[in-house]
Amino acid sequence: MATAARKAPAKSKSRSDGKSAGVSAPKPVDFTKDEELDAYRRMLLIRRFEEKAGQLYGMGFIGGFCHLYIGQEAVVTGMKMALVDGDQMITAYRDHGHMLAMDLSPRGVMAELTGRRGGLSRGKGGSMHMFSKEKHFYGGHGIVGAQVSLGTGLAFANRYRGNNNVTLTYFGDGAANQGQVYESFNMASLWKLPVIYIIENNRYAMGTSVSRSSAETDFSQRGASFKIPGIQVDGMDVRAVKAAGDLATEWCRAGKGPLIL
């Protein structure tokens, strides 16, 4: 999913038509007024929360790491709007927005960031390590790419239990070059697991740009060897993300296996 704030992401010349294995990028959905307001509130909450977190980090009130999600708000917001109760989410360390999108209490997240007892991990986990089984949020992981295998495992559990839930597994453009991602792709496709792999392409992994680190920069095609279709989505457009989220969740619930956005 492209999330560059300044420029449109560079698209690969060969396969940027949004089509893969018969799956095409859907048209952005039309929101009702209530949906419009809901999306706006959710995105604004994340933006304001992150501005405060950045400020508190600078002032020394937040220890350890603090990765902000400013500029990527539309991705988690649009995807959350496509979920039903019981659907799960797992992500990396840039996770405050994902937690707020899954309705974890902003107070609990902020208390965790500032190392307080009232924090979601009792002040012991910090920015990268928060969980809520009740809200179906499975972290918060600092090892780049590790959450992809864990998310695939969550999807396996859903399949095994025979429920109809879907797991959203988020990772970055940098994490997309990790080996365990492809081991997970293989098993997810082989066993038709209900997992949506959402690659948030913000064009950098720490300081390294996508073009310097990635042989295939169209991340929607990364599942090609495993017969996992992928769609390029404009992560700056919450309506486009919601449309892609609707398509992907229906795809998974129909038993067709994983999909990459």
Ligand X SMILES: Cc1ncc(C[n+]2csc(CCOP(=O)(O)OP(=O)(O)O)c2C)c(N)n1
Q: How far is the CB of 173 from ligand X (least distance, A)?
A: 4
Tokens in use for 18?
């949004």
Q: Sketch the per residue contact string, 173 through 192, with ligand X: x for CB under 6 A, - otherwise.
A: xxx-----------------
Contacts of 100 (CB under 8 A, 6+ apart): 42, 45, 46, 49, 76, 106, 109
Cα distances (Å, whole numbers) of residue 211 to 68, 131, 216, 231: 23, 33, 9, 20
Under rule CB under 5 A, residue 72 binds Mg ion: no
- Min separation Cβ 208 and Mg ion, Å: 9
Q: Does 202 bind Mg ion (CB under 5 A)?
A: yes
Least Cα distance to 110 among 190, 166, 51 occurs for 51
Count, residues in the chain: 261
Residues 148-187, interacting with Mg ion (CB under 5 A): 172-173
d(CA 70, CA 52): 11
Taking the complex as a whole, the smallest distance from the CB of residue 204 to ligand X amounts, in Å, to 6
212 interacts with ligand X by CB under 6 A: no
Task: Give the one entry of ligand X, Mg ion, none that residue 182 binds, where binding means its C-beta sits below a cut-off of 5 to 8 angstroms depending on kind.
Answer: none
Question: Which of 142, 149, 246, 256 touches ligand X (CB under 6 A)?
Answer: 142
Q: Which residues bind ligand X (CB under 6 A)?
A: 94, 142-144, 171-175, 202, 204-206
